[in-house]
Structure 1
Amino acid sequence: MRRKRKTEDSNMKNILFASSECVPFIKTGGLADVVGSLPKDFDKEKYDVRVVIPKYMCMKQEWKEKLEYITNFYMDIAGQSQYVGIFRLVHDGVTFYFIDNEYYFSGFAPYDGDPKWNIEKFAFFSKAVLSILPVIGFRPELIHCHDWQTGLIPVYLDNFRYLGEYYRGIKTVMTIHNLKFQGVWDTKAVQKITGLPDYYFAPDKMEAYKDANLLKGGIVYADKVTTVSRSYAEEIKTSFYGEGLEGLMNARANDLWGIVNGLDYNDWNPDTDYRLAKNFNISNFRRNKPANKMALQEELGLDQDSHVMLIGIVSRLTDQKGFDLIDYMMDEMCQDAVQIAVLGTGDPKYENMFRHFAWKYSGKVSANIFYSDDLSHRFYAGCDAFLMPSLFEPCGLSQLMSLRYGTLPIVRETGGLKDTVEPYNEFEKTGTGFSFTNYNAHEMLNTVRYAERIYYDKKRDWNKIVERAMSQDFSWQNSARQYEELYKSLIGE
């Protein structure tokens, strides 16, 4: 019996996630949710998945107090010797490592307004990730890198392989969460920061349009490249979505995977969510979900009416999320028998647009120009529909949350929205939401009005769509199985 256990252990594959952010420690966006949630859902018999992130001074004190100091050493970066401290914490069954250096990580936020400083900070982090491995006694078969901040890890790994046997054979996966952000700066400056030889700063490697590009380096040198939905993986091969790297994405097409992000189905569960006025599930939502609408209407100062269609928006208020379309059609939508509630911050012109309409249509429009996680849960539970007309959307989590809570998404068919929301077909009685194809304000309005018609005139059909929406499985377990298949293709069983 003991011998069998030893064999199983020797087959265990070590995976290291490297990221600039991770819940619950530090978060600015969806990247943190992925890195914090996904490692918990791998098969623990086959994979030892650990995570490494920077030890930011702006992390909450409650987390900093729990960290266990391991050791420190010094490492050359940007022409000087820098302290590298290593801390550890086991949380939810996952081991997290924190790389400490107050010079780089003492800011009030993970990212600075100065792009050159960000590049130096994450060049330090990327080199440190590889440098700590012999010290912590954890040699990964595979390092899973996330976004441009870790793009230098595959590049440094290629360079480190010449230094000794230890780093040979380690595979890398580069996940692109949003191709728009690439970590670009002057080539000479990046070469000086990284200390990498001229060889790496060529057009077929890290150079792009005369500048050094950290994400490009990661894509070129990683063994596999993934992004966060199948449709986005196809879209980034085109000039419209490719952000200048479409040629490279086509060149790496055989190594490019699209795997949709998941949701933490324990946190996002309408049946147990403590933030709601009344819990509900797929069998009792007809009776219990309206109570959440009434409570939300009261909380937001909207006219209380359980029958009126309430459309919710929880988002960063930016062009990428399609707010120019909403801006163009907001007055027209407000003529309909609907209420509109928004939660989020962003571009001041959109913040002020929603404030204006909340004043103009008092009781009918609610503008909540801030962000609250608790309130977002009540939005997903209390609204009837969720509007998300994005220009592009690598994956998107909001539509997954709205599906989970039986709030039907109205989306544009792009990226992850196209992959996760099946448009309603009233003849075949299929679909989990509503969608439109072209980035066009009138097309969006027509789709909103089509959803209104189903809501008011075909309530039985609407409730059947809600049932299908709530029965979808976009849990992390689903995503983890697909990542396991990817890992197997590189490092075997």
Structure 2
Amino acid sequence: MPADAPLKILFVSPEVEPFVKVGGLADMVGSLPKDLAAMGHDVRVVCPAYGSLKLSDDWSARNEPLGVDVGAAAHWGRTWVSHLPGSTVPIYCLEHEHLFGRPEVYAGPWGDHPDNDLRFIFLCRGALTLCQQLDWIPDVVHCHDWTTGFLPLLLNTTLKNTPLGRTASVFTIHNLEHQGYCDRRALDFAHVPVNEFRADSTESHGKINMMKAGLYHATKITTVSPTYAEEIKQPAGGFGLDPVLRFRAADLMGIVNGIDTTSWNPAADPNIPSSYTAQNFGGKTVCKAALQKQLGLDIDPHIALYGVVSRFATQKGLDLLAEALPHIVGRMHVQFAILGSGDQGLEAVYRDCAAKFPGRVGLHVGFNAKLARLIQAGSDFFVMPSRAEPCGLTQLYAMRYGTPPIVRATGGLVDTVDQFDETTGAGTGFKFEDASAPALYNTIGWANATYYDRPDQYRQLRRQGMARDFSWGASARRYVDTYRWAIKSRRGE
């Protein structure tokens, strides 16, 4: 293959923005293919057609039914076709009422769906079946997280002697903590040889580990930041798979996620009450007032306003903020605008804090996409005290919107936020090392002092964050290099 030849690239993912989203994985799969297509590559995306998928006039159903060779007899489904918004990239959503008819992606109110193994094996085999039906054999399949872990396994076993046998796979780890443990029935359902139930393939603690299957069988492995790629090779961050990742270290690399800078643009965002630029922050003042009003905060353009948009979980460090928050609000001249949900105990703590500090702590439990953008635009700082953060996107959005982030130095937060230097004024945010409430308290105190005592440096910090290029361009080029690397390895070139 010539070094600059256009590639045929298939994305297989459980989530795709804007059609179905649980986390940052959806943002990547909804954005990166567009940049790859703009570079001249033939890119296509496959995702399940969940019951929550809204099929507008932009969608059409393929006439040919999709027969997927899984289980005791072929499972038949239907394929819906559209395009990623603002692009020519086709997206194919696989419909199967029994497996995907429910609205949730991974779990319902009762917990994880007990047939997640069967659902996502159908996605993996169905995506490859669709390629054969379209007479379009990809050069490389880009797989995402444990839900697609069986796809490289299928390419290496069941489909090895088919036209798909030369197709390379790149497996991206978005969050190693979720691994897709399931029973041995998964091998039978996928028609994978039973001898793959072994420690150097799919077996872990007497069960099937779908993430492990992807890590062992993928041609190449990526994760969403260089620092996270190093962290997961250590016992503290490997969640039991660090020996596998050390074994595959030569094939593992970290590539920082980008963001859709057309959608996330304070100069032209229709979701915020006033636009603004790094040269004119007048509109940000309007956004701040609107945010204060919406969350019942005192209307004050001069008080330092700290924003939080997060899942309420210990991984996100929201327990650290819950512990520090009464002391921060009690001793500093600040406000907090908090949006999120999750752990019920943490939700209760934040409700109590909002009740104790009316006008100073504004809280919305749940998720509201428009409010999330308003918090990014209207806040003076953005707080992310994560214990672990593979990449993180909200800190990128924050800097894009002139809102310096306050982050713990972990994962992608290390790679994307530059520490503020009081001596030179360089940097884009504030970082702290210890996963503790006192460390977070002290760092917010440092940010607060910068806001009130060194306003010129604070304004410079804002502008420097907005000047950073977080588009997918550079990362897309690195992914193309990775795809070519994988293809050469797969074909023995």
- Shorter-normalised TM-score: what interval? over 0.9
Matched, 1:150 2:148: yes
Please, which of 163, 169, 172 is the counterpart of residue 172 of structure 1? 169
- Residues 154 and 160 in structure 2, CA contact (< 8 A), matched pair in contact too: no
Change in CA separation of 1:207 and 1:362 when aligned onto 2, cut-off 3 Å: same
Please, which of 221, 224, 246 is the counterpart of residue 220 of structure 2? 224
**Counterpart of 1:136 in structure 2: which amino acid?**
L
- Provide the secondary structure at the position in 2 that maps to 1:334: helix
1:3 is matched with none
Shift of 1:486: 1.2
Please, which of 299, 304, 314 is the counterpart of residue 299 of structure 2? 304
- Provide the secondary structure at the position in 1 that maps to 2:56: helix
Change in CA separation of 1:80 and 1:471 when aligned onto 2, cut-off 3 Å: same
1:192 is matched with 188
1:374 is matched with 370
Find runs of 4+ consecutive structure 1 residues off by over 6 angstroms.
none
Shift of 1:474: 0.8
- Residues 276 and 284 in structure 2, CA contact (< 8 A), matched pair in contact too: yes
1:48 is matched with 42
- Provide the secondary structure at the position in 2 that maps to 1:89: strand
- Residues 160 and 167 in structure 1, CA contact (< 8 A), matched pair in contact too: no
2:178 is matched with 181
Please, which of 285, 299, 304 is the counterpart of residue 290 of structure 1? 285
Shift of 1:45: 5.2
1:4 is matched with none
2:20 is matched with 26
Paired with 2:293 and 2:262, the residues of 1 have a C-alpha distance of 27
**Counterpart of 2:296 in structure 1: which amino acid?**
G
1:135 is matched with 133
Paired with 1:199 and 1:132, the residues of 2 have a C-alpha distance of 27
- Residues 380 and 405 in structure 1, CA contact (< 8 A), matched pair in contact too: yes
Please, which of 103, 115, 122 is the counterpart of residue 120 of structure 2? 122
Change in CA separation of 1:45 and 1:453 when aligned onto 2, cut-off 3 Å: closer
Shift of 1:108: 2.2
Paired with 2:159 and 2:148, the residues of 1 have a C-alpha distance of 18
Shift of 1:115: 4.7
2:101 is matched with 106
**Counterpart of 2:166 in structure 1: which amino acid?**
G
**Counterpart of 1:212 in structure 2: which amino acid?**
I
- Pairwise CA RMSD of aligned residues? 1.8
- Provide the secondary structure at the position in 2 that maps to 1:59: coil
- Residues 79 and 195 in structure 1, CA contact (< 8 A), matched pair in contact too: no
Paired with 1:194 and 1:347, the residues of 2 have a C-alpha distance of 35
2:69 is matched with 76
Percent identical pairs in the alignment equals 39
Matched, 1:90 2:86: no
**Counterpart of 2:314 in structure 1: which amino acid?**
D
- Residues 115 and 185 in structure 1, CA contact (< 8 A), matched pair in contact too: no
Paired with 1:304 and 1:417, the residues of 2 have a C-alpha distance of 31
Please, which of 226, 240, 247 is the counterpart of residue 243 of structure 2? 247
Shift of 1:476: 1.8
5 Å-filtered alignment, 1:199-238, equals: 199-238=195-234
Paired with 2:435 and 2:249, the residues of 1 have a C-alpha distance of 26
5 Å-filtered alignment, 1:324-339, equals: 324-335=319-330, 336-339=332-335
Please, which of 15, 23, 29 is the counterpart of residue 35 of structure 1? 29
**Counterpart of 1:348 in structure 2: which amino acid?**
Q
- Residues 70 and 87 in structure 1, CA contact (< 8 A), matched pair in contact too: no
When normalised by structure 2's length, the TM-score is 0.94
- Provide the secondary structure at the position in 2 that maps to 1:11: coil
Paired with 2:214 and 2:74, the residues of 1 have a C-alpha distance of 25
5 Å-filtered alignment, 1:354-433, equals: 354-433=350-429
- Residues 11 and 46 in structure 1, CA contact (< 8 A), matched pair in contact too: no
Change in CA separation of 1:105 and 1:115 when aligned onto 2, cut-off 3 Å: closer
- Residues 287 and 377 in structure 2, CA contact (< 8 A), matched pair in contact too: yes
Please, which of 463, 476, 491 is the counterpart of residue 487 of structure 2? 491
Paired with 1:475 and 1:73, the residues of 2 have a C-alpha distance of 36
- Which string of whole-angstrom CA distances, capped at 9 and with x for unpartnered residues, describes residues 341-379 of structure 1? 101111111111111111111111101112111111111
**Counterpart of 2:310 in structure 1: which amino acid?**
S
Worse overlay, 366-375 or 170-179: 366-375
Shift of 1:26: 1.4
Shift of 1:465: 0.8
- Residues 261 and 471 in structure 2, CA contact (< 8 A), matched pair in contact too: yes
- Provide the secondary structure at the position in 2 that maps to 1:85: strand
- Residues 422 and 431 in structure 1, CA contact (< 8 A), matched pair in contact too: yes
**Counterpart of 1:109 in structure 2: which amino acid?**
E
- Which string of whole-angstrom CA distances, capped at 9 and with x for unpartnered residues, describes residues 70-128 of structure 1? 41243332323311323322342101122222121111212243454001111111111
Paired with 2:377 and 2:68, the residues of 1 have a C-alpha distance of 50
Shift of 1:46: 3.6
**Counterpart of 2:238 in structure 1: which amino acid?**
G
Shift of 1:30: 1.3
- Provide the secondary structure at the position in 2 that maps to 1:231: helix
- Provide the secondary structure at the position in 2 that maps to 1:407: coil
Paired with 1:45 and 1:360, the residues of 2 have a C-alpha distance of 54
- Provide the secondary structure at the position in 2 that maps to 1:71: coil
The alignment covers a number of residue pairs equal to 482
Paired with 1:249 and 1:115, the residues of 2 have a C-alpha distance of 28
Worse overlay, 357-366 or 100-109: 100-109
Worse overlay, 25-34 or 67-76: 67-76
- Which string of whole-angstrom CA distances, capped at 9 and with x for unpartnered residues, describes residues 165-206 of structure 1? x122110000010001111123x3323332311221110111
Paired with 1:203 and 1:181, the residues of 2 have a C-alpha distance of 18
Please, which of 9, 21, 29 is the counterpart of residue 15 of structure 1? 9
- Residues 434 and 451 in structure 1, CA contact (< 8 A), matched pair in contact too: yes
Shift of 1:43: 5.1
Paired with 2:194 and 2:171, the residues of 1 have a C-alpha distance of 23
Shift of 1:16: 0.3
